[in-house]
């Protein structure tokens, strides 16, 4: 047993055994719900509105006085099965849970109100729902970073600790459809992948689908991550601001009139004004083995910063007519100087994504509504790299322009049955430019793909709420290639024996965009991936087929979940997989097949949550023209992954500690007997070796208090890699001019602290 593992066990034993003793004494007699509600009304100065029959004959243990207002409501929802809907700062409505979908951008019925931590929920049709405003705490996180938070879910990993490289059930990051208020985003990270690029304080909820995706969505053969902003006008103005060791942010939701609201949020790094320990850890992690570090002896006046700004206008023309306008801009920039005795040249890289959309919704009557959206997304990645020694200037550019129109019609026959139909048009153009002065070379490639899609979907719930069915299909016609794909989608959920649920999910998907790596030092070696479009020859349309079968048990705040899945993705290329072995310069077409098992056990108390998750997967490539057409391990094949974590709340103090362990990723090593042959590295069988196991312990804590009567504050501290474990994320080899071989290792983040301070009013 390693010293790191022993120390971690000691930390868990010391910290949480103490808290457990409090948890065991929290039990009291059950009281009528009506009596409990009166106590809560007095404590929080609110009023509950409800029909007497809704709370009749409901008895439960009163929630702990240590719980916050939102946590108290979550506790009551779990214990009673009722819905507690916040009307405004004064009133909360209590209604019986219903399975009927509401028109326009609705959520599926919630199956589990608190999943791992507050603010994470599981729907009855298999999606995970993240609500940043109600977010509790997770190990290593003090803010609800969307793309970091979902990595707590079984089957969701990042092979290099980056939010720009999420590997969901073995897929690459470009196989995830990431939507911001319905608009596809082509950039997901700040600091070149260390931080999510999406401000969580305007986001109302995030829907994560790994399988059984709604027919509304195209693209995303691995997953869909749908970030939705508020779509209804709030009752009052709200403001908030915060700062940590990387960034500062602020947001406001301004009710201008009863029918008009403006929401805005902004965030900017502080790293160009002050260097912090967190910044230094991030910088060393991102820029190791890149051009900026290889020229470090000649580099000065390094400058890096990022920002994002988001806004939304909500205008209710009438009770039946609503207009929504959304806008966001994301930007990253790095400049550095390379100096010699006689020359000074500046290299730089910028990356940004601008997106906007307008939607009009009409509620014709109680059963019929329509929605029309027009939106665009524009992504740019630009780099200028000066090589003084060779008198060379390299200019690279990757641009994506995505325009789309979506029309949907929703028919609510009753509260248990609805039908959604619609049409989507997409035009995507991608440009790749490369310009070298010495020797002179210029390449400028632009492709455009138009897609016409129709979709239809039926949602049904049985009268006893035990059966839920979502069945649909999407047709995608790729105009340049005259290709039509019909993609059925299915989600079946059946509850039995009161506390068990069986779930079957299946889907077909396709996408025309992907990311490739031409050379490992492209774009200064920092953001090596560039977007490309299918051409139906060297870059086919990527297609996936996935099925899964799950069994879930939920009783007395104990969740046990097990799911087996099978996934096949065709049309991938070697250039999209990031090979750094004998296949690095080869462009071949193939597929990968993943079979796996996800398991989770989660026990929640009034003020504590603990969970253990385990994922097993066998993920293999098949390229007919490579490796003698024999299967070999996928670059993202992490066979085993385990997470163990615990969170605890003591009044306004929240604590979280967690351990992440997983198998080492596959790598290809040089042949030990003949490492070099014909002036190239002579490799062994591809991905036949593995790195050492990955092990990381994280800690976080937040404390909330009031600065004034209506001004709430929160301070937090997090430590990523508490034990400062050295983890190797990747190993590859390069051939030197003297025919010797150098081994290059990319290390994970070491001990990385962060602190923050927030206010809200």
Please give the pLDDT value at position 208.
94
Give the rounded percent of residues in the chain with a pLDDT score beyond 90: 68
Confirm whether 13 is domain-assigned: no
**91-95, 353-357, 747-751: which has the minimum mean pLDDT?**
91-95
Lowest mean pLDDT among 28-37, 151-160, 217-226, 501-510: 28-37
| CA atoms of 467 and 178, how far apart (whole Å) | 30
Question: How many residues can be counted in the chain?
Answer: 761
* Residue 90 within any structural domain of the chain: no
C-alpha–C-alpha distance, residues 106 and 86, integer Å: 17
- The 8-class DSSP code of residue 100 comes to P
Averaged pLDDT, 466-489: 96
Asked whether residue 356 carries a pLDDT value surpassing 90, the answer given is yes
What share of residues in the chain are helix, strand, coil (percent, to 5)? 15, 55, 30
What average pLDDT does the structure give for the chain?
A: 89
Secondary structure (DSSP) of 351-420? EEEEEEEEEEEEE-SSSEEEEEEEEEEEEEEEEEEEETTTTEEEEEEEEEEEEEEEEEEEEEEETTEEEE
| Structural contact between residues 309 and 274, judged by C-beta atoms closer than 8 angstroms | no
* Residue 679 DSSP class: T
- For range 299-304, the mean pLDDT: 70
Residue 718 in this model has a pLDDT that exceeds 80: yes
Q: Which pLDDT value is given to residue 468?
A: 94
For residues 656-683, average pLDDT: 95
Asked if residue 477 is part of any domain, the answer here is: yes
Confidence (pLDDT) at 8: 46
Segment 398-433, tens digit of pLDDT: 999 999 999 999 999 988 899 999 999 999 999 999
pTM given for the model: 0.86
Residue 555 resides in a domain: yes
Q: Round to whole Å and give the CA distance between 154 and 565.
A: 12
Is 194 domain-assigned? no
Across 496-507, average pLDDT: 94
Q: What is the pLDDT of residue 607?
A: 81
Q: What is the CATH number of the domain that holds 595?
A: 2.40.170.20
Give the Cα separation of 654 and 358 in Å (integer). 39
Q: How confident is the model at residue 26 (pLDDT cuts 50, 70, 90)?
A: very low
Helix, strand, or coil (residue 91): strand
Distances in whole angstroms, Cα of residue 440 to Cα of each of 394, 433, 437, 518: 10, 14, 5, 19
Q: What is the average pLDDT across 369-387?
A: 95
Predicted local distance difference test score (pLDDT) of residue 269: 96
Say which residues have a Cβ less than 8 Å from residue 80's Cβ, sequence separation at least 6: 33, 55, 58, 60
Question: Which has the minimum average pLDDT: 140-144, 387-391, 400-404?
Answer: 387-391
| 573 lies in some domain | yes
Domain range for 267 is 227-760
Half-sphere exposure of 541 (CA within 13 A, CB side): 21
552 inside domain: yes
Q: CA-to-CA distance for 102 and 113, rounded, in angstroms?
A: 19
Sign of CA dihedral 679, 685, 686, 687: negative
What is the structure's pLDDT at 97? 62
At residue 34, the pLDDT reads 86
CA neighbor of 307 nearest in space, from 282, 277, 329: 329
Domain assignment present for 615 = yes
Tell me what the mean pLDDT of segment 627-649 comes to. 95
State the total domains in the chain.
1
Q: How far is CA 495 from the centre of its chain?
A: 29
In degrees rounded to 5, what are phi and psi of residue 623? -115, 110
**pLDDT category, 341, cuts 50, 70, 90?**
low
Q: What is the average per-residue pLDDT within 82-106?
A: 64
pLDDT of the residue at 505: 97
């Amino acid at each position: 047993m390693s010293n790191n593992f022993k120390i971690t066990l000691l930390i868990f034993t010391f910290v949480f055994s103490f808290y457990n003793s409090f948890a065991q004494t929290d039990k009291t007699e059950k009281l009528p719900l009506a009596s409990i509600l009166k106590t809560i009304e007095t404590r929080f100065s609110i009023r509950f509105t409800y029909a007497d029959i809704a709370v009749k004959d409901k008895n439960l243990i009163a929630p702990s006085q240590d719980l916050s207002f939102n946590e108290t409501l979550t506790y009551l929802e779990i214990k009673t099965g009722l819905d507690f809907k916040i009307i405004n700062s004064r009133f909360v409505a209590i209604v019986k849970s219903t399975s009927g979908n509401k028109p326009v951008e609705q959520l599926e019925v919630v199956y589990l109100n608190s999943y791992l931590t507050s603010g994470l929920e599981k729907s009855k049709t298999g999606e995970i729902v993240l609500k940043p405003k109600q977010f509790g705490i997770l190990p290593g996180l003090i803010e609800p970073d969307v793309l970091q938070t979902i990595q707590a879910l079984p089957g969701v990993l990042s092979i290099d600790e980056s939010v720009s490289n999420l590997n969901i059930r073995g897929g690459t990051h470009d196989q995830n459809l990431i939507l911001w208020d319905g608009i596809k985003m082509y950039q997901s990270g700040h600091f070149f992948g260390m931080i999510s690029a999406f401000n969580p304080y305007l986001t109302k909820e995030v829907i994560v689908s790994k399988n059984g995706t709604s027919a509304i969505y195209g693209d995303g053969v691995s997953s869909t991550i749908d970030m939705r902003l508020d779509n209804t006008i709030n009752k009052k103005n709200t403001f908030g601001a915060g700062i940590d060791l990387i960034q500062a942010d602020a947001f406001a939701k301004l009710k201008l009139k009863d029918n008009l609201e403006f929401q805005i949020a902004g965030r900017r790094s502080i790293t160009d004004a002050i260097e912090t320990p967190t910044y230094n850890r991030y910088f060393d992690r991102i820029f190791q083995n890149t051009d900026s570090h290889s020229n470090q002896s000649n580099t000065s006046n390094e400058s890096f910063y990022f920002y994002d700004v988001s806004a939304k206008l909500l205008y209710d023309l009438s009770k039946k007519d609503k207009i929504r306008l959304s806008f966001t801009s994301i930007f990253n920039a790095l400049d550095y100087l390379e100096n010699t005795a006689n020359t000074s040249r500046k290299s730089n890289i910028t990356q940004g994504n601008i997106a906007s959309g307008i939607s009009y919704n009409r509620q014709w009557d109680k059963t019929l509504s329509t929605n029309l959206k027009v939106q665009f997304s524009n992504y740019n990645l630009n780099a200028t790299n000066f090589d003084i020694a060779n008198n060379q200037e390299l200019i690279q550019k990757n641009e994506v322009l995505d325009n789309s129109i979506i029309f949907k019609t929703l028919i609510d026959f009753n509260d248990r049955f609805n039908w959604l139909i619609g049409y989507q048009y997409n035009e995507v153009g991608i440009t790749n430019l490369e310009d070298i002065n010495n020797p002179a070379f210029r390449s400028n490639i632009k492709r455009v793909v138009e897609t016409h899609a129709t979709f239809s979907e039926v949602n049904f719930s049985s009268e006893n709420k035990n059966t839920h069915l979502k069945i649909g299909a999407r047709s995608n016609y790729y105009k340049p290639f005259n290709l039509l794909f019909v993609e059925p989608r299915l989600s079946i959920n059946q509850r039995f024996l009161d506390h068990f649920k069986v779930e079957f999910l299946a889907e077909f998907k396709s996408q025309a965009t992907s990311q490739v790596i031409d050379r490992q030092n492209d774009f200064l070696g920092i953001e090596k991936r560039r977007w490309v479009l299918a051409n139906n020859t060297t870059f086919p349309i990527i297609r996936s087929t996935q099925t899964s079968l799950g069994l879930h048990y939920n009783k007395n705040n104990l969740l046990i979940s097990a799911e087996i899945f099978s996934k096949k993705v065709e049309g991938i290329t070697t250039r999209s997989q990031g090979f750094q072995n004998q296949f690095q310069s080869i462009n071949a077409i193939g597929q990968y097949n993943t079979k796996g098992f996800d398991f989770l056990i989660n026990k929640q108390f009034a003020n504590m949550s603990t969970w253990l998750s385990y994922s097993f997967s066998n993920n293999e490539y098949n390229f007919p023209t490579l490796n003698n057409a024999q299967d070999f391990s996928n670059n993202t094949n992490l066979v085993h992954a385990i997470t163990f974590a615990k969170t605890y709340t003591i009044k306004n103090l929240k604590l979280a500690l967690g351990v992440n362990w997983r198998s080492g990723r596959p790598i290809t090593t040089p042949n030990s007997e003949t490492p070099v042959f014909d002036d190239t590295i002579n490799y062994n069988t591809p991905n036949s070796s593995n790195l050492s196991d990955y092990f990381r312990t994280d800690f976080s804590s937040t404390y909330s208090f009031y600065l004034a009567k209506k001004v709430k504050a929160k301070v937090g501290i997090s430590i990523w890699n508490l034990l400062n474990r050295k983890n190797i994320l990747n190993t590859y080899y390069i051939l030197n001019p003297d025919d010797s071989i150098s081994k290059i290792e990319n290390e994970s983040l070491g001990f990385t602290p962060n602190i923050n301070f927030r206010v809200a009013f």
